[in-house]
């Protein structure tokens, strides 16, 4: 029951930020570390890191991103662009009176962290991205079309585009099963189902839980999603092409903040031919876009901050400890 004691020490509040209410979980005092979860997660995905960072002299703050958990969930997919979510985060930093923060993001949280670093490098002391590297914006082709060309209509990104489709498919299962299908997935290919099949039907449900998570922890996620639903989280995918349009002014821009990128060697699409994370990281293009970059590959899957919690926590701490207190970049 250690994790329950851990969670009980976490302070919760809802903050009016950028016109909506954002729920944050926080613990500790010291330099601010902002922890950004992915799909389909919550602040709770960082339960191990919140505790660890607080013990080591940091103020760990993990929001439920807009659309998730106890934060507001605007209806319109166009309210889920990087501009909106980065705006939420800037408002959180202002709320806490912090000019700069360390930022850690996984999955969609990594994507958001990249764009926070792109838009407002003055507010990011250092960034740790988990699983998702910074990809250059195509000058000609929208991201959904690129993914369709590479992986077909059956990819999760394509299936998630149509409002209501994934929600209806997910609703054939109880919320705990949906959580198990995603958080415990060991799929190494890009996420796609066979033709004529919904992704959620294709994902397997493990009969035995891995040692790194309990039924109780998975139930915490399931109960929250039962309250808030999946439309907010899915709207991030539905805003992808709009993001592309809005990002045109940053065409060719680099990420200048100091960055550590951590990926699991069994993450989906890590080894995927020429389009995989491994090939991209090794190509030199990633480093050219993010000059101040360190890459760490560890043994694990997609939700590596939960699966390999201690290892990831140590990697985060070793990175942020390089920066002297109160020093701006």
Per-domain boundaries in the chain: 1-321
**70 is known as an active-site residue:** no
The residue annotated as part of the active site, out of 23, 48, 59, 302, is 302
Tell which CATH classification among 3.30.720.210, 1.10.20.140, 3.40.50.1820, 3.40.50.300 matches the domain 1-321: 3.40.50.1820
Active site residue 52: no
Q: How far is CA 106 from CA 74, 132, 177, 236, in A?
A: 22, 7, 22, 14
Tokens of 27: 């613990």
- C-alpha gyration radius of the chain: 18
The pTM (predicted TM-score) of the whole model is: 0.95
Catalytic, out of 64, 70, 107, 267:
107
Omega of the bond leading into 45 within 30 degrees of 0 (cis): no
Active site residue 175: no
Distance between CA atoms of residues 66 and 68, nearest Å: 6
- Helix %, strand %, coil % for the chain, to 5? 45, 15, 40
pLDDT reported for residue 8: 67
Any bridge partners for residue 126, and if so which? 102
> How do residues 200-237 score in pLDDT, each as one tens digit?
999 999 989 999 999 999 999 999 999 999 999 999 99
Q: Which residues of the chain are under the pLDDT cut of 50?
A: 1, 329
Choose among 56, 66, 58, 72: nearest CA to 103.
Answer: 58
Cα–Cα distance between 129 and 136 in angstroms, integer? Answer: 16
What was the pLDDT predicted at 1? 47
Sheet holding 259-264, edge to edge: 11-17, 20-27, 59-63, 32-36, 101-106, 124-130, 259-264, 293-298
Q: How far from the centroid of its chain's Cα atoms is residue 89's Cα?
A: 14
Q: Give the angle subtended at the CA of 71 by the CAs of 69 and 77, to the nearest 5°.
A: 95
Residue 275: per-residue pLDDT: 65
Instruction: Choose, from 52, 68, 237, 301, the residue flagged as catalytic.
Output: 237
Q: Is the CB of residue 48 less than 8 Å from the CB of residue 106?
A: no
pLDDT of residue 329: 47
């Amino acid at each position: 029951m250690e994790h329950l004691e851990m969670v009980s020490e976490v302070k919760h509040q809802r903050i009016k930020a950028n016109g909506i209410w954002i729920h944050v979980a926080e613990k500790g005092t010291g330099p601010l570390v902002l922890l950004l979860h992915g799909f389909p997660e919550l602040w709770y995905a960082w339960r191990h890191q919140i505790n660890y960072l607080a013990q080591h002299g940091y103020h760990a703050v993990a929001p439920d991103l807009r659309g998730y958990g106890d934060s507001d969930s605007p209806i319109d997919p166009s309210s889920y662009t990087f501009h909106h979510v980065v705006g939420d985060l800037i408002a959180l930093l202002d709320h806490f009176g912090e000019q700069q923060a360390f930022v850690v993001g996984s999955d969609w949280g990594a994507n958001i962290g990249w764009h926070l670093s792109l838009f407002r490098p003055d507010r990011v002391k250092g960034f740790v991205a988990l699983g998702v590297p910074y990809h250059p914006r195509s000058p000609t082709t929208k991201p959904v079309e690129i993914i369709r060309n590479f992986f077909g209509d059956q990819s999760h990104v394509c299936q998630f585009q149509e409002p209501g489709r994934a929600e209806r498919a997910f609703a054939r299962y109880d919320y705990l099963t949906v959580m198990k299908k995603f958080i415990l997935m060991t799929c190494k290919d890009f996420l796609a189902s066979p033709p004529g099949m919904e992704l959620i039907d294709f994902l397997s449900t493990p009969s035995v839980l891995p040692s790194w998570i309990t039924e109780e922890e998975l139930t915490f996620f399931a109960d929250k999603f039962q309250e808030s639903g999946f439309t907010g989280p899915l709207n991030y995918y539905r805003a992808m092409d709009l993001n592309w349009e809005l990002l045109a002014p940053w065409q060719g821009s680099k990420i200048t903040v100091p960055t550590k990128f951590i990926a699991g060697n069994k993450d989906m699409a890590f080894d995927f031919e020429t389009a995989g994370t491994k090939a991209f990281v090794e190509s030199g293009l990633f480093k050219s876009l993010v000059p101040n970059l360190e890459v760490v590959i560890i043994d694990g899957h997609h939700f590596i901050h939960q699966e390999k919690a201690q290892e990831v926590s140590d990697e985060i701490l070793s990175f942020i400890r390089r920066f002297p207190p109160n020093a701006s970049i």
